[in-house]
Structure 1
Amino acid sequence: MSDLLFHAASPATPLRYRLSTRIVTLSGVALALFLSMIVGTLWLSWQLEGAGAAINDAGSLRMRAGNIAIQLGEMRAARPANVALQSAQLDQTLARLDQGDPVRPLFLPETPAIRVQFNVVSATWRDALKPAIAQNGMAPHLYLDRLPAFVMQADALVRLIEQENARKTAWLRRSQLALAALACLGTMAIVYLLYAWFVLPVRRLERGLSRIEQREFTARLQVESRDEFGHLAQGFNRMAAELQSLYQDLALRVTHKTAQLSARNGELLALYEMTAFLHGAHDVEVLCRGFLTRVMRQFHADAGSVRILAPDDDNLHMVVSEGLPERMTDVERCMPASDCVCGAVATSGIAVIRDLRSGRASISAPAVDCGTAGFAAVTAFGIVSKQIALGSFSLHFRHERDMLPSETRLLETLGRHLGTALQNHRLAAAARQLAVAQERHLVAQGLHDSIAQSLNFLKMQLHLLDTAATRDDLNEIREIVPLLRGGLEESYEDVRELLVNFRTKFGAGSLRDAIEETVTRFERQSGTPLHLDYEEASGLPLPSDQQLQVLFILQEALSNVRKHASASNVRVVIRNAEDFHLTVQDDGDGYDPADIASRGEAHVGFHIMRERAARLGAQLGLESQPGGGARVHLLLPASRRQAA
């Protein structure tokens, strides 16, 4: 707006069209008119005042002429001097009336009749009365005879002056009325002109601004003058036109951005739904079918398929398909990766967008049979996980379909998400297989450390029993049979203990109950008293998998005590603080650590405990000496603890 005002006040506006010129001209005309009226009124007032003084002096002529007549009629010695004085004063009065006195003011009205009558009065005095005074001496008879004519002429002069004065008074009144009327008309004219020059343009501008505020950018002001407001209206129209252009452009941009945001929101929603689905627990076929269904719905595809590369023979296997003809799915259920577009995408990872009717494609790829199946366009994108090509998925359209760059990026992203989900599924299956293998390994070690050795002992005793029976050595047979019975009972206990260990499952917070049950079972099986010291300090409960590993280590340690230690007392100390501590100590026979180390894997129980401690990320300490008992200490630091 400041630019528009500056433009309106710029020197480009001709001087005669400027509002300042109009205002100055109007003010000058009004001032000149009012001043002229005021000057005329003052002049009339001044004329009336001078004429009034002239009436007084003209009236005094009669008085002075009468005074002279009275002086002439008195018989005194001082009479000649008084007559002369009165005569001189009358001469002075006539002289003032003739010459006027601007200071007083006093002057005769400048009309021919008054001037002629004044000359008659002056001549009558000068030619008739004044000579009568000098010719008759002191005799008043001649003077008195001529006095009425002088008085009559003086009265006529006074009447003429009064008539002229009345006429000027009337003019003065008319001038005052005209001045009042002119003031009213001038005020109305000034108000109208100011209204036309300022108020109306400002109101038009205000209405224009109000329409602009209401986003009516088609509003224009009519340029009705060439003054500053005319330039302001032109500037307003230019501003409105510029705003209209900008708003239309802005509206197009907003519409475009809204469409982009809507598309982005659709893409984000599709990604969110797809991610939520792919992170669920599904098998490969359900995973691929759900993925394909959602992608086809998102892009309005008529058909589609998901194909996975076989890791061993480089063939492309169709996992799921929708909307494809049966003959096509039968032919392409398993085929070499080099025979179709989907295979080229699966091996190269480069997306293919092909118009089957025009033959246009983003990359060169082998011809496919999609065109004969009634499809007009096909797109294929790779299923990739960390730069590893796992397969491809395709979308088929029965009408021409151009893929936007944003849609291409979304499909490539969805392909990577599916690849990650498939890879995670494979890794989870491999992890489950590894876990099963590890558990089988631990089971095998447990069987080897317990039942296998017992069975080996029983085999040796059976061989001795067979030899004794061949020799009919009853005494040796009686010695071997209790050993066989003891070995069988021990094997039976080992089997029961292994079954209990393998079936142990519990939730978070039930570790103490499981340990107390294990301790009770140990005392029942071995008959050895066991003291349990369980302290729950500031530590949080362990998660289920860590609790299970701790319990297995305790069971293995107590199994070793029962089988090999011949202990009288056993002490188990558990302290769940910031770090988790487990200590199993007995007063049995003990062992030589060097001897155990030299045997390596021979003592499977120690090896199993070390493997379970490694799973926990814990530190396992084994201390013993022959005849001095043994001590097993497990430390699970706070840094390796998991949240329950």
Structure 2
Amino acid sequence: MKPIKLCAMIEITKQSLLLQLGIAMTAITLLAFSSMLSSVFIAETLEGHATAINQAGALRMHSYRIASQLNLYIGQERTLTVALQVEQRMSEFSRRLFAPHLEWLLQRHSKLSVGHLYRQIIHHWQQQLEPMLKQALQPASAPMDASDYLAQIDEYVTLINTMVAELEHNSETQIRKLRLIQIISLFLTVVVVIVSMVLLYRRVIIPLQQLLEAAKASRQGHFDWQIDHRGDDELGQLSSAFNLMAQDLARMYDELEIRVQQQTANLERSNRSLELLYNTTRRLNQLPLTAESYQSLLYDIERLSGIGPGTLCLGDSKQQSQQQPALRLASTRPALSGSKEPCPLPDCGHCFLTSATDSATLSIPICDNGQQYGILRLDIPHKEPLHDWQRKLLDTVASHIAMALQRQQQAAQGHILALMEERSTIARELHDSLAQSLSYLKIQVALLKRVFAQSEQNDKAQPIIAELSDGLTSAYRQLRELLTTFRLQLGDGDLKQILQTTLAEFSRHSDTAMSLNYQLGGCPLKPNSEVHLVQIIREALSNIVHHAHATQACVTLNCDTDGIVTATIEDDGIGIPPQSEPQRHHYGMTIMEERAKQLQGVLQLQPSTMGGTCVKLRFKAAL
């Protein structure tokens, strides 16, 4: 049990620096006390030695004085005075022999050689010298030989010298012991102090310096500073706690920096999002909207959201199901090698009819109130996964584009309604004025023809009257066609429905079977462009009905991804006969060319693959 307790105490001592320092201070104190106690003890031991030595020396001197007085007493007459002096000397010797210091020394050293010698001296005095002196001082005694007494004195003094030498030896021995104890105590004290200083330096000073340096480093934000001091004592535990605290602070500081970076990134992302939404709103509210506006918007999306380049196409899934190409409104993609097209997809239906979003591209439908206006297709850089904020931002931008297109369509519808109202007013005025006038002129020409039929100048007048009648008839017919065109209600339906109505009208008034191949898709046309296009098609159909003698006619409209609209009117009639001079009262081709110029397009007249004539119009669709 004792070794276990000792080990436990050692472990407890190792775990407490204060206890170790307390033990060191206790050791130094105990050494000091032991040194002082040993000094006191030895001093107590040596107490009386000097007095005893003095008394012993005095005994020698009194021994010789007694011998001197005795010699005087023997050599002279035995006088009473000398005898009294000898007795006085003997009494003084006895008093000194039995002095308290010598008796106290005898008691303390009774078992040592000093005590034995002291007893011998007493015994020798009492048993030999004192009786011899007393007998010599008796008046009736025989005279004593002084040499016998001197021989006894010498022997007695030798015993006293021996005792004095033993006392001196004992004193020197105790003094040497005291010196040795002082040296050992001083050495142990120095050792304990050195060990304590080393312990204090290694276990206190160095750790405290490291703690101070670590605290300064932590104050400057350097939490990677570690204290090397290890141990189970207080400073060791404090160092471990400080290291753990520094690690926790470093982790918290890193987490705080990460959170600050995240918040900064979120703030920057919010700023970019707000900037993109602001630019989107600003650009989409600037009228008129052009392809450059949408292209700038695509550049803003790529710069502020980090996604792009991209393409903005107009169209819907219904048109794509009919294999109608979408209109590429704007694109920031570079053209593919060997092609002018920036889009790598085989057809537009890949974006509109299927989920074209993958790891490399993102397709966002442009919808508003359930109606699709187009699609926004963007390239994902490095095929990185999209963040929720990016998708939500792009959805918001797409909804703004959809609302802008809707407003544009509503504005176009309003413009069409205003145009139709104006055209209806013009049609009413023409009908009430010019049409009535032409009807009246036709009646007058008929009356004139009847009058000249009874005249002698009938032969000369009839060609003029016939030409005048043909001119009025042609003018009246063109006016009626113009009135019919003005009365077309473009606002009642889309362009396809208007063309279908137009072809049905011409089919009812002729034997020509007419068909429509409409593939404009989401190609936007201005109201004036629709009017010019319908007028050109009506003029071409009118020529087919009145001049081509065709049995079939086909109207084809399509638009490529660059917004180039192509309108083709073909028939299987007799074609265009070669003429040396233009026919009079026929201005259809001239009007068609003028309308083509208004569209900034090109009108071509060429043989048809059906065997008749082909009228082809090409122009750029405008937003």
| TM-score, structure 2 as length reference | 0.48
Look at both structures and tell me which one has the larger radius of gyration over its CA atoms: 2
Q: Which has the higher contact order (CA 8 A, sep 6+)?
A: 2
